[in-house]
Chain A
Amino acid sequence: MMEILAKAPVEPVGAVTYGTAEGLLGSVWLLVAIPLVSAAILLLLGRRADRWGHWLGVASVGVAFLLGLTYFFQLRGLENRSVELSLWDFIAVGDLRVDFGLLFDPLAAVFVLLITGVGFLIHLYAVEYMAHDPGRRRFFAYFNLFVAAMLLLVLGNNYVMLFFGWEGVGLASYLLISFWYVRPAAATAGKKAFLMNRVGDAGLLIGIFIMFATLGTTQYDEVFTGVGSLTATTVLLLGLLLLLGAAGKSGQFPLQAWLPDAMEGPTPVSALIHAATMVTAGVYLIARSNPIFSANSTLQLVVVSIGALTLLLGAVIGMAKDDIKRVLAWSTVSQIGYMFLGVGLGGAAYALAIVHLLAHGFFKANMFLGAGSVMHGMKDQVDIRRFGGLAKYMKITWLTFMAGWLAIIGLPPFSGFFSKEPIIVAAFERDDWTAWLFGMAALLGAGLTAFYMTRLFVLTFHGPARWTEEIDHPHESPKLMTIPLILLAVGSIAAGALMVGPVPEWLEATAGLGGGSEAAHETVLSHLAITILSIGVTVVGAGLAWFLFRRGTATEPQPAGVLVTAARKNLYTDAVNETVFEKPGIFLTRALVYLDNRGIDGLVNALAAGVGGGSGRLRRLQTGFVRSYATTILAGALLVVAAFLAVEAGWLV
């Protein structure tokens, strides 16, 4: 291990400087403030805001989107496309200075547009979706809170600001997963998400501490400029801790188990937070910290491995699930795995990962909302074995979902093809045998994705109807739900082709993301061969699924082989968590309680008893007789004089 550490080269990164935000860009703080104020109004006014609260929530995100667009065009006109806005000294204790500052650069800009744009559509959808829920105002308050926190996360100009947003989205996520807190499953899922996120957050926090301890700052520009002066071991440790944080937030191995359970929340929550935006925060963190990750090849190897492992894990489990939202959730885990693979590969692949992230934001939100629309029409049924033949009844949902399906499996000309295929190519571009390892993993993942998504699509919309008795006539959702679906579907179709060229170019101005300077490696297979292969496995996977499920499936669980059983049980990851962490944790807690009761309390009580007893005994020396007092004084005097004389004679000191 130490050998690897020693060999890992440290590549210094050039100095990073940000311009000052002036003119219109000086009001970039409004992006965070508007949804935050809206959330505060919704929470503080309480029932009085019930009638119009949801529209305020939608409007605040809409305004934020328009502002974001304006800032985006402002930024395009600038020479230095990274501007900072320092609002006030947030923390100033001793040497620690943390600025409450915002950074608006190309990376932040695309995230702002994704969050507010997709966020706005999902808000709009939720107005109708949550229409019959008595807690709709509260839901929009939390939703706005989430948007504000997420914007703070991507706009902060230092790691402490990022951490604030990070915890803010964690809080909003927790509140929204357990939004229906009277359902035990929702409450448990909220807790699970919260706890697993704590593990990651602790890693991020320690990482920030290390930054402060070694570099004395948490500002992005200073950290990135100073990272070249750190030892390889420090960089590795720092990167691993940031990676732990990223894995926790993004549901990556080994902290992936909370994300599928988080689907207990309302569907718009799954779409916005647990598919399009929050779960990509880990990708953002790694992309933002790319000067740190690029500085250590061991670190990059770890990121790539986690990405590859997770994308296969998610795909395999996704194949065996029957709950429509869970399939989509595992698919999210798998797709974020692709993004991790991309950011781990480094260089030009950073931008590819961001492109995939944006494209995924569109098509996954589209499919989640589509799933919500299906559930809406099917009395909240989520089991795909009880769907079938819905294409006839929900035309818009069917067509929009189809756009998402074709996008995710990556058939040209849908967006997934333009965003995922370059990552597969990039994985084949590595120097050594790992090119084959990661390349084949990515390729295999593409085939698996095609299989499970086609299975989902076919079982839901085609084949014979297998509905439960109480449903006689599924209906299409109202306009307020279908319009966002249509807009997102358009994005799913077109976004990839539109973004694959300009976005990497646009991102080049972000600190460290200018991958063009690096000499491109030769791929181990020709580019054309990889493209053909990836389309080939996709078609095979999709075709196989179509063939197997075109006549529907059994409505009850079927006996299955080892692999399918394992996949149904999440590849035993939950069981591993239970045996490795939960059981020893419970044992540790019990042991600590025992230690606390018997050991610490016992010690404290014994000490107290000792002091009390000593006090009682010493008290008896206070007899009240002058003669005994005089004796005490005399004895004390003799001792003091003797001590002084002993000092004089050199016996003491």
Chain B
Amino acid sequence: MIPLAHFMFVSAALFCIGIYAVLSKRNAIMILVGIELMLNAAILNLVTFSKHDKFEASGQVFALFAIILAAAAVAVSLAIILNVYKYYRTIDPTKIDNLRN
């Protein structure tokens, strides 16, 4: 039996890697990847604790919802990134600093 704390250590490490990606990357897609990493860390936590909630399985249901939402978010943000690239000829978020017109 693996202690819950170990799951949480992995999750914490993953989350911090995600934070680093989000804060440091100069590429929108990599930022998106970082967000996905953070989401995965959160999902891992949810799933881990749902071990003690057999009948209601709230953690797993929420993990499902989170996965679905993450998928939707990825779809929409990719579309947005493509449009941004079409408009600015770059996807570096530090250079996208003016509103349209």
B partners with A? no
Q: Which residues of A contact B (CB under 8 A)?
A: none
Q: Chain B interface (Cβ within 8 Å of chain A)?
A: none
